[in-house]
Chains A and B, each alone.
Chain A
Amino acid sequence: MSTPATHNGFDEASLVARAKAGDANAFSELVRHYDRRVFRMAKQITQNDDDAEDVLQEAFLKAYTHLDDFQGNSKFYTWIVRIAVNEALMKLRKRRSDRSVPLDEPIDTGEDEVAREIAVWDENPEETYSREELAELLDEAIQSLKPAYRTVFILRDIEELSIEETAEALGLSISAVKSRLLRARLQLREKLTRQFKRKGDDAFAYL
């Protein structure tokens, strides 16, 4: 994982301090370090390359304009993800305004979880598939989730925001985030199990 903080000589805090002091190169370095994560998230949420590019640009331009407002209480990475997710949700809402469920509307409570596709996985599914095949499988699985579940999963489990940060970024209650996250995780588990289950195993083989 290459997320925040300091690794491989990348020191987020000092780059932010330098950027705030007016060092344009420092800001560009932050952009180059996080652009791929922001772009992936934007693509996963908007499901559209053009929208994702807009989100990518808007997020970093806003971050530059408002850098002085960034207090450094959270990580820059968390901050930029929150800006980007707002931009992405705006795109999504604009596109879906006349027909779809808004993301903040109460949906399934997750009270009636049922686990299907109970089968152990192949030892190393990561080695059975090529990187491209795996990317496609993961992408399809994510895209098959309802937007309300998908967004929570992306922020919490892919971008690794905390439950609280995810709730704040999406304007949801903690309990809504938790129940959507459970739904998302179980649905993804089920979808991946169909691909990765050990040959010969089938649902309820362990009953």
Chain B
Amino acid sequence: MTRLLTCKQFLRDLNDYLDQTLDPATLEELQRHVNECPNCWVVCNTTEKTLKVFKGFEPQAVPKDIQDRLMAAIEKKMQEEGPCCKKKHLAKE
């Protein structure tokens, strides 16, 4: 007996479908739904593209002045605390 998923059920499992964390039986059910339901196909396809566009967007470099202040703060910390390996007792606050 083939169970037909509703669009709502499909959407509920969309994350697991996209992240490919479903068991084979559920995966097949979802695949059948998405192959036959044009709306869910579009939602699935554009959600996938949404993730891709965000993931593919590399962060820009940290502005020079902010990076300079960061490195200066770290250098100061290194001088205060000494090398990582010699400050074990300090780390346990």
Binding site for B on A (CB under 8 A): 1-2, 19-24, 27-28, 31-32, 35-37, 39-40, 53, 56-57, 60-61, 64-69, 113, 115, 118-121, 125-126, 134-135, 138, 157-158, 160, 163, 178, 181-182, 185-186, 188-189, 192-193, 196, 204, 206-207
Contacts and interface: CB of A to CB of B under 8 A. Distances in A.
B43 A36 contact: no
10 contacts: A1-B55, A60-B74, A115-B7, A119-B46, A126-B53, A185-B15, A185-B18, A192-B49, A196-B46, A207-B38
Interface of B: 7-8, 11-12, 14-15, 18-19, 38-40, 42-43, 45-47, 49-51, 53-62, 66-67, 69-71, 73-74, 77-78, 81, 83-88, 90-91
A1 B56 CA distance: 6
Given A20-B84, A53-B66, A189-B50, 9 more contacts: A1-B56, A20-B85, A27-B74, A61-B77, A65-B81, A121-B45, A138-B57, A178-B15, A182-B11
A182 B53 contact: no
Given A65-B87, A206-B38, A188 B59 contact: no
B71 to A, nearest CB: 7
Nearest to A154: B54
Contact of A189 (B38, B43, B57, B91): B43
A57 B73 contact: yes
Given A185-B15, A185-B47, A22 B86 contact: yes
Contact of A186 (B47, B83, B91): B47
Given A113-B11, A134-B57, A189-B43, A31 B74 contact: yes
A118 B88 contact: no
A207 B2 CA distance: 23
B62 A27 contact: no
Given A40-B59, A60-B74, A181 B15 contact: yes
Given A61-B77, A64-B84, A113-B12, A39 B43 contact: no
Closest 10 CB pairs of A and B: A22-B83, A40-B59, A206-B38, A36-B59, A22-B85, A67-B84, A189-B50, A189-B47, A113-B11, A115-B43
A138 to B, nearest CB: 6
B43 to A, nearest CB: 5
Nearest to B51: A157
Given A39-B59, A68-B84, A28 B42 contact: no
